[in-house]
Amino acid sequence: MKNSDAERLTEHLLNVDEDILSRAYDTDNAEKLKEYKKTKTKKHFFTSPWFRSAAAVAICAALLVVWVSLPFKTTLYESYAFNVWDYRCLAVFYKYIFVGRVESEIGREYDKDGVPHTFYKVTPLMNIQGELRLGEGLTYKKQGGLSKSGMLCYVLSEDILPEQGKLYIFCAKAIDNGETLYSSGKNSTIPLEENITEENLAESAVVEKMQDACEKPAYMRDDHIPVSNVRSVYDLCENPTVSTEKLFKSENAAKLLNQNTPLVLPTEKDISKLMGDYNYFFVGTVSDGGKFCVSKEGVPYVEYTVTPVYSIVDGTIINYRKQQFVEDRSIKFTKYGGITVYGNDVELTRNDVFPEAGSLYIFSCTATADGEALYSYSPYAVIPLEKPRDGGDFSQIPLVKQFMNARKEKHEVLQPVMKECGTLQVSDHTLEKHIDFLYNQEIALAEKENREPVFDFESEIYQYPDWLE
């Protein structure tokens, strides 16, 4: 039995929890109990169903806004006219290669298809190829970036968009009358390692790899890489130049290009690099001052006729005939590198030596694919050499000795180097090739005359020197 009206009201009207009910036992009348219920059991508005529904809608709307505000990455696919994975090819295609810091994004423009091109302010910090003014901001343009709506972010396949404050190697060419540097595609912007800062750029393996590639651009590739001849307005313009018209008319291009260039002899490291880059080394002369030419792709070079007088070999019997040239034979030789074309001028970009008639040089070179000619492209590939004193032997000249010792090191390429297209670059003017020619010639002649072939193996050409190992 319930003891009072207050107790019955507590159970029937309030239907509250035990704590509230226990407090209601001490309430004297129902009115006070009702007031008690209003104050103690009133629900907060944020627990109501309508509030929960509204909150859910608001949260979904907020997430939708965040989702819409994040642009979707859209990949643009592009085919390349050359091997963009090979840094040596980049060194041919791009006039300017440098380490730079991204200061800011300064604008965008859109082509007729709505694809964006983004403009950045970049500060060059180190020149790898080309001579830009360091520490001064320049305008850099790159294909890719946000769409007009801001919902899409266009990026070329395997390319990246540079980020503010970060360091990159920029590979670029000048456009818009030189006022803008431009590039796009794979390896056009290469990030540096995370531990590399402006203070230790020389320690970057990526920078070192690019520097090495720029010393030996892939001029002889079969993909015929086009070359820009536009000079940037950010260029220092401090290197000496010669007019292309004067060079084309000259019968002694080397004299115009050398311009009293100070002679800098190679270090042991430089010679070691040559041993890895080339497979033929000899002392020789040129018969003329060189003919200046420019390929249809825009690459400048100088053509010569060279005559080997002393071959630098590694001293082993197994490689002697592969490395020994037939002496006093005229061979076509092409000298690349050290010069670049800007408009109507040719600029001397490094202290390269262009051989002149009447002087001796050490040549480091590689054969063309057909084996008929030789070419070189890097610093120290042609080095002036004094004649031996008192009719002495070339092997006693200190610089020749350095090359001979380096030739014997394990990093030396014993077999002819592989051409990029996959064929062996073997010169037709080596002793091995000459003996093969004589051998095949005698077999063909004997077959024609219906007799047994005769080989004079006692001839000097078949003999190995006593000093070979």
pLDDT in tens, 302-331: 999 999 999 999 888 888 998 999 988 999
Radius of gyration of the chain (CA): 39
The pLDDT of residue 351 is 77
Spatial CA neighbour of 351 closest among 274, 269, 261, 253: 261
Q: Is residue 63 part of a domain?
A: no
Residue bearing the bigger pLDDT, 166 or 7: 166
Whether residue 441 has pLDDT greater than 80: yes
Q: Is 244 left (phi over 0), alpha (psi -120 to 50) or beta?
A: alpha
Same domain? For 299 and 401 the reply is yes
Domain end, chosen from 159, 180, 215, is at 215
Question: What pLDDT score does 162 carry?
Answer: 95
Residue 53 lies in a domain: no
CA–CA distance, 41 with 414 (Å, rounded to integer): 95
For the segment 455-468, what is each residue's pLDDT rounded down to a tens digit?
Answer: 888 888 888 888 88
Residues 419 and 284 both lie in one domain = yes
The CA–CA distances, whole Å, from 115 to 107, 109, 139, 149, 185 equal: 14, 8, 19, 12, 14
CATH at 336 = 2.40.50.120
Angle at 377 between CA 158 and CA 398, to 5 degrees: 130
Rounded (5°) CA angle 297-303-305: 155
pLDDT of residue 33 exceeding 60: no
Q: Are strands 180-183 and 138-143 parallel, antiparallel or unpaired?
A: parallel
**In the block, residue with structure tokens 């266009």:** 154
Domain identity same for 325 and 209: no
As a whole number of angstroms, the distance between CA 167 and CA 200 comes to 12
Whether residue 171 sits in one domain with residue 302: no
My answer on whether 252 and 360 are in the same domain is yes
Q: E-assigned strands of 184-239?
A: 189-191
In tens, the pLDDT along 239-283 reads 889 999 999 999 899 999 987 667 788 998 899 888 888 889 999
Largest CA distance in the chain: 145
CB 336 within 8 A of CB 299: yes
In a domain, 454, yes or no: no
431-456 CB burial, b ≥16 within 10 A, e <16: bebbbeeeeeeeeeeeeeeeeeeeee
Question: What integer is the mean pLDDT of 47-63?
Answer: 67
Residue keyed to tokens 């197994």: 318
pTM: 0.79
What's residue 224's pLDDT? 82
For the sheet with 339-342, list strands across it.
241-243, 345-348, 339-342
Cβ atoms within 10 Å of 322's Cβ, excluding its own: 20
- With a CB cutoff of 8 Å and minimum separation 6, the contacts of 373 are 331, 332, 333, 334, 367
pLDDT tier at 7 (50, 70, 90 boundaries)? low
Please state which of the ranges 8-17, 233-242, 374-383 shows the lowest mean pLDDT: 8-17
Per-residue three-class SS string for 236-290? CCCCCEEEHHHHHHCCCHHHHHHCCCCCCCCCHHHHHHHHHHCCEEEEEEECCCC
Do 249 and 384 have their domain in common?
yes
pLDDT at 420 over 60: no
Q: What pLDDT digit, counting tens, does each position of 364-390 carry?
A: 999 988 889 999 988 899 999 988 877
The domain boundary, picked from 417, 433, 449, lies at 433
Are 210 and 246 contained in the same domain? no
Quick one: what percent of the chain has pLDDT higher than 70? 81
Judge whether 236 lies within some domain: no
Note whether residue 419 is domain-resident.
yes
Q: Are residues 374 and 288 in the same domain?
A: yes
Position 182 scores a pLDDT of 96
Whether the pLDDT of residue 56 is over 80: the answer is no
pLDDT at 67 over 70: no
Q: Is 441 within a domain?
A: no
Q: Are residues 336 and 419 in the same domain?
A: yes
Question: How high is the pLDDT of residue 273?
Answer: 86
Residue 301 lies in a domain: yes
pLDDT band at 61 (very low <50, low <70, confident <90, very high): low
250/387 same-domain check: yes
Can you read off the two tokens belonging to residue 5?
A: 């009206």
DSSP SS3 for 39: helix
Domain that residue 33 falls in: 5-42
Facing residues of 249 across strands? none
How many domains is the chain built from?
Answer: 3
340 with 198, same domain?
A: no
Tell me the pLDDT of the chain averaged across its residues.
Answer: 84
One domain for residues 80 and 203: yes
Is 404 inside a domain boundary? yes
| pLDDT number for residue 214 | 92
Amino acid 446: pLDDT: 93
Report the DSSP beta bridge partners of residue 335: 302, 376
Nearest by Cα to 183 from 112, 90, 257: 90
